Every structure is written in C-alpha cells, then in structure tokens.
Structure 1
C-alpha cells in the first residue's frame, strides 16, 4: 500500500478520485477518508498551492509523508504546473505523477514542450498528465460550448507520449454549485478514441450522478478541489460561530479535517466501484 504512482491505480478500466491539498489538514483528511473507504486516492498539489506556501517543497514533503504512512494506495501528483522547473522540482521531491499544463499556448508549442516533459519524466518513472485546450477558470476552453476534438486529442497523445489527458467536456474550475452540464456522448467518443485515461477537471461543479455517468462513459480520473474546500470552510465557520472566543486553530481545524474525511469517504463510496 502507501505511496504509488497514479499509473498504478488508474488505467482504461480503473478510475480514481483526485483531491487537491492546500494545507496539511487536507492531506490528512483525504487519506483518512480513503482509508475509511478502503479505496486508493490521489493527493494533488497545484502551482497555486506551492505559491501559497512559498515553495513546492513544504506541502509536497508533508503530503508524501502522509501518503507513505497510509494503509491504502496514495499517489502524490503535481497539478496544473505551467513551468517546467516546477515539474523537475516535483520529481526530485518524489512526486509520483505530474500534470504539465501548456494548454494556453499555441498547439505546436504545447506539443513540443509537453513531449519534452513526458520524455524526461518517464525517464524517472513518473506518470504524466497534460491538457488540450485550457479548462474553464484557467483562462481558456472549458467555457460553455467549447469541447475537445477527438481527432486532435488522439494526435496530441501520439505526438507527446503523455499518460493521461484532461479534456473539455463541459466542466469548469472553481464552481461552487454542482450545476455543470457534461457532454456524455463526447466523453464516450473520446474514451473510445484516445489511447490513455481521460481526466475530468472542475469536477466540484458536477453532481454525483453526473460524475457516475461520466465514469460509465469512460472518464477515469476525477479532480475535485472547491467542493472539499467548501466542506472544510463550513466546518471552520460553524466552530467559530459556536464559540466566538475560540483562538486555538486546532479547535476549528480538527472538526474541519474530520468533516472533509467524512465527505471523502462518501464520495469514494458513491462514485467509485
């Protein structure tokens, strides 16, 4: 069990949920929830989270320690890195998979830079995810009506050698309501054509039922962040409202961590087989 590569727990037949880590309590809650569910999970650290901590190392090392002590399989993944230097640092730290995001660049430059990242990462045994057309909320193409073209997706994967592909099928980052409308026919078409697992970003905006349908149609990695942040924040707010004199962060972080763990267990039990 413990620390594994995303590729060890994900393929065309198996699916996995991936949750973003902002602070240590997130990593602890996600793994505790996965252990209660008896399911593998991915801890994701974004470029923005690294900036929040003043660097990638502190939160990555903490997440790796939590993963290594887990009783279930846990991957530690660099999410939405736009700078190759951050990718190399993540690999040196011990991250077991990375996402290089060059989707806002011209197609030819995205291909060239992503292919080089894949080549170097694979030399270290690291699984690589990429994106074709930026996801909504990140400056690009997961706005209403924008969708990934299956033929272009196949060509991109063949040209870059990546192991997983984030695709535009109707979701959007940072949604606080679960009201996104997915194109299930396109998901099925992409899954049949693209030779690597498909990744759904912005899944916080997708209902449980629609995530299940997306998985049934071939989606394989489901990224969730804003939804669990909402669970965490509501629990903190409830603790502070219940005791306005509270000053010890442990007194409001502990119930927030516990609430996230419960929701992780529910999501894993509801959404994954």
Structure 2
C-alpha cells in the first residue's frame, strides 16, 4: 500500500474522537512488527524513527528510513513515516528527502521564548515542503541521557493557557503535552491528569500527543483518548517485548548462534504489543 501521511492519520482520528498509535522503529524487525500488528488489528499506524535511533545507526538516516519505507509500502495496513524528537536542525532538514511526511521538532528543553522562536522557524521550513510538524511544551522526561524527572513535579506539566499561546505563536500541527507520563517506563504505572487533558483539549486548537505511553495502563489510555488525546506514542513497550523474547530464547538455547532463531520470537512479541495498543486506540 502506498505510504499515507501522519497528518491524514491524525486528522482522521482527531475528527472521530479516537486515537492513532505511533511506534518507534529501531531495527528492521521493529518496522516489520509494527506492520504485522497493524495488519492484524485492521487499522493504521505511524512508524517513528527518533533522533536517538538515527544516532544508533551511526548518524545516518537514509538506511533506516529506506527500510521503514519499504516495509510500509509492502504492508496492507495504512502506515506513515514520522521523524521523532528531533533537536538537530540538520536532521530536521533531511526529513523531506528521505520521505518523512511528519517531524516532531523538540525544543522543549529551551526557555519558552527560544522554544517558540526555534519551533516557529521549524514550522515554516516544514510547511513549505508539505511536512506536518509536532512540538512539545512541558517536560515529559525520561529519555536516554536525561536526569530522572518527576512527572508530577511543580512546573513539569503543560499549562493550558501557555499551550494555546504556543500553538498560535508557532503554527504547529500537533502538541505533545506533559500530563503525567514519562519516557522509558518499563512498568505501566503512570497516572495521568485527565482533568488537565480535558482542559488542554478545550484550549488547544490542534491534536494532542501523549509521549511515554508504554508506562500508561490500558484504562488510563482509554480515559485520555476520551478526554481529548489523539496521537499515542509507544516505544519502550516494544523494546521490553523484544528483549524479553531474546533473553528467553537464549536461556533455553544457550549454545545457539543463529540470530534468526531469537529475532523471530522477538519480532512476534513486538507485533503482539503493537496489535494490543492499536485495538486499544481504535
């Protein structure tokens, strides 16, 4: 199936008051698992390549982008390609040539005024090329290399009034908000501030994005979507499933050396996670 665009997928979900799940791609097996899970769930999904994943691939975007694109184009599910958590403007500007329909430009670590300026510049560049752009306001935290962040600390969460002004001043297409989740959680124990989600939905004129959804229980995700959240980002849950399957296989077959033997159950485990999240957000 031809690649769809993230903007189309998010707009459709937003209009229907439901969610659209987006999954991080690190290896070819991640991309294949996402496509397989989407096909089984009978719904669309977003394949995300993060700046950290690009660094893992030696700072080269082309190969992992080409692999994800090839998987998406040969899948029967509607899939889009998204470049996630970009802080490097050089990487941002590589998105168009590599076939990405959307980018999450992350200036959230900057002071508010500088965040607005850098993000507005990124939006202008993106919109000139038909690229949908997501940004972040607040501190979701938990990414590799960051100090631990209390998602419930004062000032960590997104302020609705500030968020509305931020959207107006930057022209972004979607806003990632801090409402109680955190990146890299391996247990699903996060408690979201659903009153805040509802307030943000009322004041913010663009779709809302939940980062760190791997640590959010099913009922909390459903509640968040009902309160107004649209794009649901999932990364660590795939890695947990992948690594657990590999560990289990190697423990059972300690002399095995063929990576296909453990990558097959790892890919299948990730596909199960993808299908579960997609059925949750449909």
Q: Return the TM-score normalized by structure 2.
A: 0.93
Q: CA deviation digits over 1:174-217, x for unaligned, max 9?
A: 01111111000000110111000000001111001100110010
- For residue 166 of structure 1, the aligned residue among 173, 176, 195 is 176
Distance in 1 of aligned mates of 2:134 and 2:107: 11
Write the mapping of 1:108-119 to structure 2, written as runs, cut at 5 A: 108-119=113-124
Aligned to 2:86: 81
| SS of alignment partner, residue 134 of structure 2 | strand
Deviation for aligned residue 1:142: 6.2
2:258 paired residue number: 248
Q: Which residue of 1 aligns with 2:52?
A: 48
Q: What is the distance in 2 between the residues matched to 1:99 and 1:165?
A: 9
What secondary structure sits across from 1:36 in the alignment?
A: helix
| Count of aligned pairs between the two proteins | 272
Alignment partner of 1:229 is 2:239:
yes
Runs (5+) with no aligned partner, structure 1: none
Name the CA shift for 1:194/1:142 in 2 (closer, same or farther; >3 Å): farther
Corresponding residue to 2:24 among 20, 25, 42: 20
Deviation at 1:135, TM superposition (A): 1.6
CA distance in 2, matches of 1:53, 1:190: 36
Matches within 5 A, 1:85-124: 85-124=90-129
- Describe the superposition over 1:127-170 as per-residue Cα deviations: whole angstroms up to 9, x where unpaired: 10001123221448763232111010000001111101000100
> 1:6 corresponds to which residue?
6
Kept in 2: contact 1:3–1:64 (CA 8 A): yes
Q: CA deviation at 1:228?
A: 1.2
Partners in 2 of 1:142 and 1:159 — Cα distance?
A: 28
Supply the distance in 2 between the matched residues of 1:255 and 1:177 (Cα, whole angstroms): 21
Aligned match of 2:281? 272
Regions of 4+ moved over 6 Å: none
Equivalent-residue separation in structure 1 for 2:41 and 2:207 (angstroms): 23
Q: Indicate the residue corresponding to 1:144 in structure 2.
A: 152
Quote the Cα distance in structure 1 between the aligned partners of 2:63 and 2:31.
13
Are 1:29 and 2:33 matched, yes or no?
A: yes
* 1:198 equivalenced with 2:208 (yes/no): yes
Q: Which consecutive residues of structure 2, in runs of 5 or more, have no partner in the other structure?
A: none
Q: Does 1:154 align with 2:159?
A: no
Give the alignment's Cα RMSD to 1 decimal.
1.3
Aligned partners of 1:40 and 1:74 also within 8 Å: yes
Quote the Cα distance in structure 2 between the aligned partners of 1:22 and 1:142: 26
State the SS of the aligned residue for 2:85. strand
In the alignment, which residue of structure 2 is the partner of 1:70? Answer: 75
Q: Residues of 1 paired with 2:25 and 2:46: CA distance?
A: 10
Q: TM-score, normalised by structure 1?
A: 0.96
Distance 2:152 2:111 in 1: 21
Match of 1:189 in 2: 199
Q: Residue 221 of structure 2: which of 199, 202, 211 is its match? A: 211
CA distance in 1 between partners of 2:268 and 2:99 (Å): 27
